Structures are given as structure tokens and as C-alpha cells.
Copies of this chain bind each other. A is one copy, B any other.
Amino acid sequence: MIKVAVLGYGTVGSGVVEVIQDNNDLICQRIGSEIEVKYILDLRDFPGDKNEHLVVHDVKTIMEDPEIDIVCETMGGAGAAYEFTKQALTAGKSVCTSNKELVEKYGPELLALARKNNCNYQFEASVGGGIPIIRPMNTSLAPECIESIKGILNGTTNYILTKMAAEGAAYEDVLKQAQDLGYAELNPEADVEGHDAGRKIAILASLMTGKTVRYEDIHLEGITGIDAVDFAFAKALNKSIKLIARADRASDGSLTAFVAPHMLGADHPLGRVDDVFNAVFVTGNMLGDIMFYGKGAGKLATASAVVSDVIELARAKMAGYALPCIWAEDKVALKPYDEIKGCFLIRVKEDEAGRLAGAVSGISEAAKVSGYVGYKIEGISEKALKEALASTGLQAKIIRME
């Protein structure tokens, strides 16, 4: 019998208990052992909840119970969650988590602590919700030198951009709708400014390199600057606008990682990932392009990813197996995001088009929309482009194209 403790009985934690209980027969078959949730740690009581009797308030009850094999940390944050995770691993209990902040900050330290104590630390649910991506990175993509990862990693912003595209609505109006529906927080900054996607691409970029890419080093550009005119251009050009979190390896081996809105062609698989769906598009040196698509958030989808870790932890525990994950503390120095060359759409008012064309070389007209002219320019860094535009004195807006 494998016994599990769940730390935090919020949305994800209650989903984890539900998945383990409702799909128990098939999970037991697939582990080759019985499994049950023995404790739920929460500060609150849950009178009337069918699992009320499992709730404990003192983490010691869990840490000191030798029957507990696996701890699911679904509390969030990097405070108590960090302390409890270290306690569990030190006690030889394997831990899995949905907590991207904790994984981004302390991933390699916690992995090393798990190895030292002959247990495992897993974090499939920390990126992409229910989409399998962490385990495929550690196993299926292990033969690959990964050249780039591009992800739609935040459901809230993708919902907002999808609505803006479909309805031609303004950012503020769609944000309000999303808040009313519960898809966006009242303080939406973590989503709309790209912080959430930034933490997730930091984790993926770390696994891509086997070293540590820090969130603090990642340039973040959110969606608050995207307006209806951008979408009018996207429509005229048969493109979509998505918030892309990306990590790219240059031919000299240097790595770039940033989050920014991108215009994507109608034929790019990421361009068609709509609403709250997420996707991760990975390019390997042997495999070429692959994409993982699914629900990036939501109670049961995220819980399913946590329980996939529980199953792997249970199988590994019974066999004394160390699950593979290569992630050292050595920090990766990122190449500045604005020095890599790319393709951009530059938009200026129609009456300023002549001045732009005279001042910036290599541009070609892409579309005229709503009193603006859009020009495409390729093979230039954002830094060089911004310098060229600054010298014109024009109010030009740029958006990255893929």
C-alpha cells in the first residue's frame, strides 16, 4: 500500500485527492499496488467534505509518519512550501508539486536533496498544467539537442488575446470580462505582464540546458500594449497574435529567453492554439518540430499531472529507482533578448510612412489598416531596430513576427 499526503486542500490539492480516489482502480492497476490519500494538510477545516477526516493541521503528523511514501505539495509560494518540501525529502519521502515558483527558485537544490536521501522530486504540473512536458523533456526528448522551445504558457492571456481577435474588442474590456468569468485575477499583473509565463519558460530552459536559467534574467513583455489595431493588422496579414515564452539556442551555443507577443502565421501550429489552451512547441536537432497541446490550467487537468508524478514516484519507490532529471545549479548567462535577429512588423501613421521609408532600410510594406501602414523587416535585432526608429523621431510601434 502506497500512502500519500496532500499539502494544501485548495483547487489543485482537492483535484489531486479526487483523481486518486475516483480513478483508484485503474491507478492501482497501473502502479501494481494499492494507493490512498492518508492525510490532507490545511489550516482550515472542511466540515461536510467527504475527506474531512483526513485533514490535519500540523505538518509534523505527516513528516513523522513512516507510512507516508509520497507528499504532494499543492500549496504554492516559496515559503512554507519550501520548508515542508525540504523536510519531506530529508525524511526520504518523495515529493511532487504543481508549484512553479518553488521549482523555478529551488529546483536543482531540491533535486539534489532528493537524490541524497534516495527519493525523488517531480514537478510535471508546474509548467503547462495538464500538458505532459516535464517528463517528455526528461525522457522522450533526451536524445535531442533542443534548439528552441516556444510556448503559449499562460491561459489567461491566451483567452484575452483570442477574444480580442474574435471580437475586435479593446484589451481593457476583454480583461474585465475575463475577471468577471474568473479567468483573470483582480490583480492580473502576474498573467498579463508575463511573469507567470516567464517562470515557466525559466524551468523549461533549465531542463533544455541541464543548468539553471533564472526567471530574473528573462525579459518580460506582456500583452497590455496590444490593441485593436494590432489585431486589424494581424487579420489583414492572415496571422494571429500570441504571447510567446521562448528559449532559443544560437549556433554559437548562447541561449536567449524572453516573453513577448508575437504575430504568428496561419500555418504555425501555435497560431491556432486558442482560448485557455496552452501548447509547447519544441525543435530538436534530430526530431525537428513537435508540439504538446492541452489544458494549461484547471483543477482536474493540473491534478492529473500531479497524479502522473505520484504514479511514477510510487513505481520508482517500489523499485528503488531514481527518476531521470538533469538540472544543475550552474547558472546560464543569457544573451540579451534584443540582440537576436528576428522579423518585425513596424506600424506608423499613414502620413508618416514616407519619413519611415526614407530613414530605415530593408523594410517592405505589408498592409494598410485603420490609417496606419505596416512594414515588415527581417534579419534585424530589436535593439538595432529601436535605435534606427529612435533616430527618425517617429511614433512607430513594433511587434515581433515569427
Chain A residues within 8 Å of B, Cβ to Cβ: 19-20, 22-23, 26-27, 29-30, 124, 130-132, 135-136, 139-145, 210, 267, 269, 272, 274, 284-295, 298, 300-301, 303-305, 307-308, 310-312, 315-316, 319-322, 324, 326
Answer whether A326 and B30 are a contact pair too, CB < 8 Å, given A140-B135, A308-B140: yes
Q: A140 touching B136 by the CB < 8 A rule?
A: yes
Of the candidates B29, B30, B287, B289, which one forms a contact with A304 in the assembled complex, judged by CB atoms under 8 Å apart? B287
> How many copies of this chain?
2
Q: Is B295 a contact of A287 with CB atoms below 8 Å?
A: yes
CB pair B295 A290 closer than 8 Å: yes
Which chain B residues lie closer than 8 Å to A303 at the CB level? 286
Cα A267 to Cα B255 in complex, Å, equals 34
Least CB distance from A318 to B in Å reads 10
Are the C-beta atoms of A29 and B307 separated by less than 8 Å? Answer: no
CB distance from A234 to the nearest CB of B (A): 17
Q: How far is the CA of A272 from the CA of B240 in the complex (A)?
A: 15
- Supposing A30-B326, A287-B301 touch, asked if A140 and B144 sit within 8 A by C-beta, the answer is no
Residue pairs across A and B with Cβ atoms less than 8 A apart, 8 shown, are A30-B210, A143-B310, A289-B295, A290-B294, A291-B294, A292-B292, A319-B320, A321-B321
B23 and A145 contacting across the interface, CB-CB below 8 Å: yes
A143 in complex: contacting residue of B27, B272, B290, CB < 8 Å: B27
Q: A326: which B residues are within 8 A, CB to CB?
A: 29-30
Quick check: A291 and B293 within 8 Å, CB to CB? Answer: yes
Identify A140's interface contact among B124, B269, B293, B320, CB under 8 A. Answer: B124
Known: A272-B272, A312-B139, A321-B319. A290 touches B30 (CB 8 A): no
* Residue in chain B with minimal CB distance to A144: B304
Question: In the assembled complex, which residues on chain B have CB atoms less than 8 Å from the CB atom of A135?
Answer: 135-136, 139-140
Contact of A29 among B20, B210, B320 (CB under 8 A): B210
B residues in contact with A312, CB < 8 Å: 139, 142
Taking CB atoms, residues of chain B closer than 8 Å to A20 are 143
CB of A3 to closest CB in B, whole Å = 17
A29 → B minimal CB distance (Å): 7
Shortest distance from the beta carbon of A118 to any chain B beta carbon, whole Å: 11
CB neighbours (8 Å) of A285 from chain B are 23
Add 20 more A-B contacts to A289-B294, A292-B292 (CB < 8 A). A22-B286, A27-B142, A27-B143, A30-B142, A30-B326, A131-B290, A132-B132, A135-B140, A141-B308, A142-B308, A142-B312, A143-B307, A143-B310, A272-B272, A287-B301, A290-B293, A290-B294, A291-B291, A291-B294, A319-B320
